[in-house]
Amino acid sequence: MDRYAEGDDSAFGELYDVLAPHLLGFAMNLTRNRTLAEDVLQQTFLQLHRSRARWVRGARVFPYAFSIAHHHFIDSTRREKHERLASTEPPELEEPASEAAPADDELDGKRRLAAVLAQLHTLPEHQRVAFQLVAIEELSIGEAAEALGVTTGNIRIRLHRAREALRHLQDPPPALAQRSKASP
Amino acid sequence: MRRQADLKSSILAQVAAEPVPPRSDRRWPALGLAVLVVLAMVALLDAWGGASHAAGRPAAAGAWVLGGICALAVAATLSVLPARRSMLGRPRGLLLAVAFGVPLVVGLWLLLWHTSYADPFARVGYSCLALTSATAPWPFALLVYLSRRFEPRHPASMGAALGSAAGAWAALMVELWCPLADPAHVAVGHVLPLVLLTLLAAGLGSRLFALPKVEPRRP
């Protein structure tokens, strides 16, 4: 981004190649809708382009890009909610590609990840986004805090709660497991 | 794969259709603006009657009051300006702490000195309110320029915090002029304008720092 801000137009294409897979994955997990995710991606890159003249030398691009993407997700969710209230139609959600529920006790890595991703949507939004940024997109705690505009302590708390919730979902307490087995 | 390539070419086409100039050096314009702001604030203080208006206040109390407000203004400014290597502002909690804290601390700091000396005269505080209102927009403009970037996460909090920090600098100028520390006067002339400024700046911030809307095109 620094190269692009300095006037190297070709750097934007390279920036796209590096950033787009991460942003699209992030947006897909947030929206569960390919079209909406692509809109978020497009909006994010256009905003990055608009930041060119005021880009701070040496600033990290990942937290900024993820914060824009998250902002657009919130914005589009609000807009969709308003439209849905007006039209009273149920939302169209696409199942994430990795939604398949694990069948065996011995899950391989991919299946385990798929199970986590499927259960991720049961988490509150603030925990889910923090978990996605740190555990899936591999941002540091500081970068995730920067992207979401909160303190690093807040991110740690969100992550801890998200991990606890996911652990409970994957290994429910014995009483809960027996109850779910008993029910048809 | 083809869809990905289409998406990339669509975004690059949109970017090419809306050229943005490369980054320019903003240090000299910022310095020029800072000098202009100081000159404007000094001119306003002079127009109100100058620092001699505060002659009735004991020198030691005046020095403490001014020192405290100056430290507050510096701390508030450093807390609200974004980190050097970031495009994003400070955490929302910190911004809100500055936005609410500055009027509160200014009020409490002035009241602390209320018992240490007798006010030389009594006023409601309309002149102080007017002087703060006339002085604060200048440092606010400078702070907005210095933090000239988008704040996608909480633009109103960013605006409120910058307004509050600008208010702290305006309060410093007003304390150079006003010798009074009566609670009613402090509330009307010194705290109320800071609260109003913070609210106004929050409204401005939601317009100044919010991401502009762009209509996405389908590839």
pLDDT in tens, A148-159: 888 889 989 998
Indicate the residue among A94, A123, A156 that finishes a domain. A94
Region B198-210 average pLDDT: 90
Q: Kindly report the CATH number assigned to the domain that includes residue A149.
A: 1.10.10.10
B101 part of a folded domain = yes
| Packing angle, helices B92-112 and B155-177, rounded to 10 | 20
Q: Of the spans A18-32, A103-117, B18-32, B125-139, which averages the highest pLDDT? A: B125-139
Same domain, A158 and A107: yes
Q: Does A51 touch chain B (CB under 8 A)?
A: yes
pLDDT band per the 50, 70, 90 thresholds, residue A90: low
Give percent above pLDDT 90 in chain A.
1
Contact with chain A for residue B14, Cβ under 8 A? yes
CATH of the domain at A49: 1.10.1740.10
Most confident range (mean pLDDT) of A45-59, B33-47, B110-124 is: B33-47
* Mutation site, A9, A10, A24, A71, interface B, largest B CB count within 10 A: A71
pLDDT above 50 for A180: no
Q: Is B190 helix (H, G, I), strand (E, B) or coil?
A: helix
pLDDT, position A108: 65
Residues A83 and A115 in one domain: no
Res. B141 pLDDT band, cuts 50 70 90: very high
> Which domain, by its residues, includes B82?
26-208
**pLDDT at residue B202, as a whole number:** 93
Residues of B in contact with A157 (CB under 8 A): none
What pLDDT score was predicted for residue A181?
47
Confidence of residue A100 (pLDDT cuts 50, 70, 90): very low
Among the partner residues A20, A45, A47, nearest to B150 by beta-carbon distance: A47
Q: Which pLDDT score, from 0 to 100, does residue A104 have? A: 53
Q: Please report the pLDDT score of residue A99 as a whole number.
A: 42
SS (H, E, C) chain A: CHHHHHCCCCHHHHHHHHHHHHHHHHHHHHHCCHHHHHHHHHHHHHHHHHCHHHCCCCCCHHHHHHHHHHHHHHHHHHHHHHHHHHHCCCCCCCCCCCCCCCCCCCCCHHHHHHHHHHHHCCCCHHHHHHHHHHHHCCCCHHHHHHHHCCCHHHHHHHHHHHHHHHHHHHCCCHHHHHHHHHCC
Res A168: pLDDT: 77
Q: Does B15 touch chain A (CB under 8 A)?
A: yes
Domain count, chain B: 1
Residues of A in contact with B210 (CB under 8 A): none
Question: Percent of chain B beyond pLDDT 90?
Answer: 34
pLDDT of residue B18: 82
Cβ distance A49 to B20 less than 8 Å, yes or no, reads yes
Q: Which two tokens stand for residue A111?
A: 């299946």
Mean model confidence pLDDT for chain A? 76
Report chain A residues whose CB lies below 8 A from the CB of B10: 42
Instruction: For chain B, positions 81-100, list CB contacts with chain A under 8 A.
Output: 82, 84-89, 91-94
H/E run at residue B80:
helix B59-80
A16 close to B (CB below 8 A): yes
Average pLDDT on B161-174 reads 93
**Which residues in chain A are closer than 8 Å to B8, comparing Cβ atoms?**
13, 16, 20
Comparison of pLDDT for B105 and A56, the residue scoring more = B105
Residues A165 and A180 in one domain: yes
Report the C-alpha gap between B113 and B52 in whole angstroms.
Answer: 19
pLDDT at A86: 66
- Chain B hits for A55, CB-CB cut-off 8 Å, are 23, 87
* Phi, then psi, of A115 in degrees rounded to 5: -65, -40
- A163-178: per-residue pLDDT in tens? 888 887 766 555 544 5
Residues A3 and A88 in one domain: yes
A22-44 pLDDT, tens digit per residue, is: 888 888 888 888 888 888 888 88
Whether A76 and A138 share a structural domain: no
Nearest residue to B7 (alpha-carbon basis) of A64, A30, A45:
A45
With CB atoms and an 8 Å threshold, state whether B149 touches A54. yes
Same domain, yes or no, for A4 and A89? Answer: yes
Mean pLDDT is lowest, of A17-21, A35-39, A113-117, for A113-117
Over residues B170-194, the mean pLDDT reads: 89
Most confident of A84-88, A114-118, B52-56, B179-183: B179-183
Q: pLDDT tens for residues A43-64?
A: 888 888 888 888 888 888 888 8
- Count of domains observed in chain A: 2
**Least CB-CB distance to B86: which of A7, A51, A60?**
A60
Based on the fold, state whether residues A1 and A87 are members of the same structural domain: yes
Rounded to a whole number of angstroms, the distance from the CA of B117 to the nearest CA of chain A is 43
Q: Are residues A87 and A157 in the same domain?
A: no
C-beta atoms of B22 and A38 within 8 A: no
Domain assignment present for residue B184? The answer is yes
Cβ B153–A56 below 8 Å, yes or no? no
Q: Where does the pLDDT of residue B92 fall: very low under 50, low under 70, confident under 90, or very high at 90 and above?
A: confident
Name the closest residue on chain B to residue A17, using Cα atoms.
B8
Q: Note whether B154 contacts A149, CB cutoff 8 Å.
A: yes
Residue B133 has pLDDT above 50, yes or no: yes
Q: What pLDDT does A177 receive?
A: 47
pLDDT at residue number B218: 58
Residue A148: is it exposed, middle or buried by C-beta count within 10 angstroms (0-12/13-18/19+)? Answer: buried
Query: Which residue range forms the structural domain that includes residue A126?
Result: 100-184
Tens digit of pLDDT for each residue in A122-142? 888 888 888 888 888 888 888
Q: What is the pLDDT of residue A84?
A: 67
As a whole number, the mean pLDDT across chain B is 85
Is there a domain that residue B157 lies in?
Answer: yes
Residue B34 lies in a domain: yes
Token representation of residue A160: 């801890």
Last residue of a domain, one of A70, A94, A118: A94
When pLDDT is cut at 50, 70 and 90, the band that residue A184 belongs to is: very low
Q: What pLDDT, on a 0 to 100 scale, did the predictor assign at position B51?
A: 72
